[in-house]
């Protein structure tokens, strides 16, 4: 059977030109002078992000045709696939993870990209979305790389489904992820001085006239205990043992506004408290508080924790800016990294640290979270070790 080709009249009318080497593959110039690629099958040209993707799409179409399979439905939109992905994730993910997944899907992916066909959405358009998230044009505040990755997770799942359906031959997300792997990743190196600056900045902001909330106690708890932000917001009076000096982590506060189990089974744990932290909790918990009152509660409502986005936008981001830490990759989750590094530098074993911060596998603690803490202290101990040979 002869290969499908685009007529010379159609090529002239649309501006498409044959590739010359790969049959059924075409290209044409974009307004910026770069090439736009496409593969011809099922009676029309289907856009592809690269020449290689166009060749792969043509090959996949030929394979489907040889097996007697119907041609992919090229009318399918991102939003059509999104609903099927949503139901699949609803069954497979834990409630807290699904809430975050669904939030990203409904607030970022569908409003910005839902009207596109998967094959028409190339890496350039997704990179534009990523830059808009970095600049804060969509959410109203600038996002760190880790947050952006979470917001784009549903799009990766949508393209995996599109690949299985034969709607696309290559995922533009995969192309972007390959490029990211080649980029060096920077990690903020915490020190006692940097932590002190952040807490002090939060205190000063919380004491200003007109300030709605003082977030510094919350940040102090996060950076000293290693709690996840949702776990800290879920703390109630019954979870704090002031006499024994312990926190009982039993829940996390989900984005959909409810108490949910922690992220993993290891997340249910006991966290020891220093005398200073016990005194901090004593100052935070009113004498007449009931057991189910939240520790970090909303103003005038002890039965509801302070909102996550208020913590982030009104508390953390201004404090990071005031502390001179903006642009250095400092996120709320980075406070958890700081706590792990603090514990490790104090001599706790990785197994002990993992049990305190809720990691099921100590190797995760070692490879991802435990970083150099307080370089000045490390250098002083290194010099002492060097000098010991001269004694």
pLDDT digits (tens, 9 = 90+) for 139-191: 877 777 777 888 899 999 998 888 877 777 667 776 665 444 444 455 677 88
DSSP assignment of 11-48 equals: HHHH--EE-SSSTTEEEEE-TTS-EEEEEEETTEEEEE
Residue whose structure tokens are 């990179």: 127
- The HSE-up count of residue 210 (CA atoms within 13 Å, CB side) is 1
Distance of CA 335 to the CA centre of its chain: 15
Could you report the per-residue pLDDT of 292-325, keeping only the tens digit for each? 999 999 988 999 999 988 898 899 999 999 999 9
CATH 1.10.443.10 domain extents, the chain: 192-378
Phi, psi (deg, nearest 5) at residue 17: -125, 145
Q: How far apart are CA 91 and CA 89, in angstroms?
A: 5
Phi, psi (deg, nearest 5) at residue 198: -65, -50
* Domain with residues 78-181, CATH architecture: Orthogonal Bundle (1.10)
pLDDT of residue 179: 44
pLDDT of residue 302: 94
Taking 50 as the threshold, does the pLDDT of residue 3 lie above it?
A: no
Average pLDDT, the chain: 82
CATH 1.10.150.130 domain extents, the chain: 78-181
Q: How far apart are CA 262 and CA 372, in angstroms?
A: 27
Assign domain 192-378 one CATH number from 3.40.80.10, 3.40.50.150, 3.30.930.10, 1.10.443.10: 1.10.443.10
pLDDT of residue 298: 92
CB of 104 closer than 8 Å to CB of 154: yes
The arithmetic mean of pLDDT across residues 106-132, rounded, is 86
Could you report the per-residue pLDDT of 332-390, keeping only the tens digit for each? 988 988 888 888 888 888 888 888 888 877 776 666 655 655 566 655 666 566 565 66
Token pair listed for 297: 């509660």
SS3 content of the chain, % helix, strand, coil (to 5): 55, 10, 35
**pTM for this one?**
0.59
């Amino acid at each position: 059977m002869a290969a499908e080709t685009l007529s010379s009249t159609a090529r002239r009318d649309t501006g498409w030109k044959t590739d010359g080497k790969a049959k059924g593959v075409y290209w044409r110039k974009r307004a910026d002078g770069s090439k736009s690629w496409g593969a011809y099958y099922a009676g029309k040209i289907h856009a592809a992000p690269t020449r290689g993707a166009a060749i792969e799409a043509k090959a996949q179409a030929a394979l489907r045709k040889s097996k007697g399979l119907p041609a992919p439905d090229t009318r399918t939109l991102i939003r059509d696939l999104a609903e099927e992905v949503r139901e699949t994730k609803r069954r497979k993910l834990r409630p807290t993870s699904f809430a975050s997944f669904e939030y990203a899907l409904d607030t970022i992916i569908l409003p910005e990209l839902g009207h596109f066909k998967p094959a028409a959405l190339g890496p350039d358009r997704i990179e534009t979305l990523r830059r808009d998230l970095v600049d804060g044009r969509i959410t109203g505040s600038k996002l760190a790389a880790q947050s952006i990755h979470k917001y784009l997770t549903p799009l990766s799942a949508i393209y995996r489904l599109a690949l299985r359906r034969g709607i696309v031959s290559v995922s533009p997300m995969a192309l972007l992820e390959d490029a990211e792997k080649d980029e060096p990743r920077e990690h903020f190196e915490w020190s006692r001085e940097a932590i002190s600056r952040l807490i002090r900045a939060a205190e000063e902001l919380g004491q200003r006239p007109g300030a709605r909330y003082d977030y510094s106690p919350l940040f102090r708890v996060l950076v000293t205990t290693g709690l996840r932000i949702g776990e800290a917001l879920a703390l109630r009076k019954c979870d704090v043992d002031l006499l024994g000096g312990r926190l009982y982590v039993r829940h996390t506060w989900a984005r959909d506004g409810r108490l949910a189990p922690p992220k993993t089974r290891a997340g249910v744990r006991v966290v020891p408290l220093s005398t200073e932290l016990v005194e901090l909790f004593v100052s935070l918990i009113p004498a007449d508080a009931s057991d189910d009152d939240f520790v970090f509660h909303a103003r005038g409502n002890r039965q509801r924790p302070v909102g996550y986005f208020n913590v982030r936008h009104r508390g953390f981001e201004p404090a990071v800016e005031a502390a001179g830490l903006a642009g250095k990759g400092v996120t709320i989750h980075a406070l958890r990294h700081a706590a792990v590094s603090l514990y490790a530098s104090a001599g706790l074993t990785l197994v002990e640290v993992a049990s305190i911060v809720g990691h099921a596998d100590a190797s995760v603690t070692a490879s991802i979270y435990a970083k150099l803490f307080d370089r000045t202290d490390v250098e002083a101990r290194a010099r002492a070790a060097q000098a010991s040979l001269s004694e």
